[in-house]
Structure 1
């Protein structure tokens, strides 16, 4: 993260100003702040961020980058990587020197991606060790004793068309398919599920979903809605509709 800041300052011709400590605002949100005002060209910003975040799978491949004005936290420029249904960034105008913060929102917490890699690296050893222990226990069991199934979850699902939504487990189920959700996706879908077929304003979604976690931009909300729309696309009776200029509505129609 700090390298992104240093390289932006160098691209602006500033090799003396400091990049301030990177802030982790939420599990999947980071902000880079600067000691002094600087200018930037969008093409340069995109290239620097893309190069530094292309880390061979240790970070989520989907993210949104916003440049925030320090005085009012308004988005002066932004772009998305790997997020469908997002507008293409305008990259031909240099932004004037000002006080900026760089906000980076990943589609899921980076630690979750790293944990997946660590699990994959050690999966063979764990599997072999576990298999040996299981075999020894089986040898000690009487032949007539059957395996005890794991306790089933008692959480009642929320029906969304043909989907079963389990908020506490952060997952969707469609027929035999399990669809894991991030905490943000689950929280947002919970809001929609409580207001099926009702228009929910963007302000309400941001207030209910992220007020306690700091600033969330319109682009960030759009990213999560886009991911939910993709998760729900298998049932044609379920549609997550964008009502231009007003908000979103999760429509579930009868067959």
Structure 2
């Protein structure tokens, strides 16, 4: 039983450990991978714009992360920008990588540093009114700035992530509650056993229940047998006088019980025979002694 309890406790601790690592790992990915996902999406935006210009040789320069939520796309050569294509391409690439649909885009002239065109998107593109769709911007040096307004809805930590975290939180609560329950139960059982039993060699002796237990095998005792064994077990390896045994077990009621004592001692010896560490020794003319030896 004790081993089973230990296994349960170890299992609970493992669940808590795995749950904690999983939640931490999931949360860490949300923070660590988000910028890389944005950069991948915006680099694809830049490549799509070059293709719209029939340019298959020049490069999209490395995406710059200006701040936590602001990024810039720049090009090796001058490029013409069609606002309608810009809106459509950014929308498609952000959806493809399951990034937030709330953002602001600015088209900035590299020479003057002025904003040539900008628009804001909140939610699905069809629900937003985008101005200057019919206007084309001639070939020039442009930087496209994209400012993400919300980073809580991407794939790494979307609804699945929220459900997962909630489930793990509930699991942790259950595990901690179970651990506390088993700990208290084990403490209660230990207290109960310690206060109601004696250890005699390989036996557990329960005076109140009048029984011996060894390897989950119970040996029943009579009331007198239990009382006599209890007196002997109080002072193991010490002589208990016959007069004391008779007085405390038979309460000195005047009945001749000498032979009865010997008879009960004989019965106890038989019940203790399967434990070589324990034996009741007769000290002739004096009394009895419960000898308990310990194996090396």
Tell me the TM-score normalised to structure 2 length. 0.42
Structure label with greater radius of gyration: 2
Higher helix share: 2
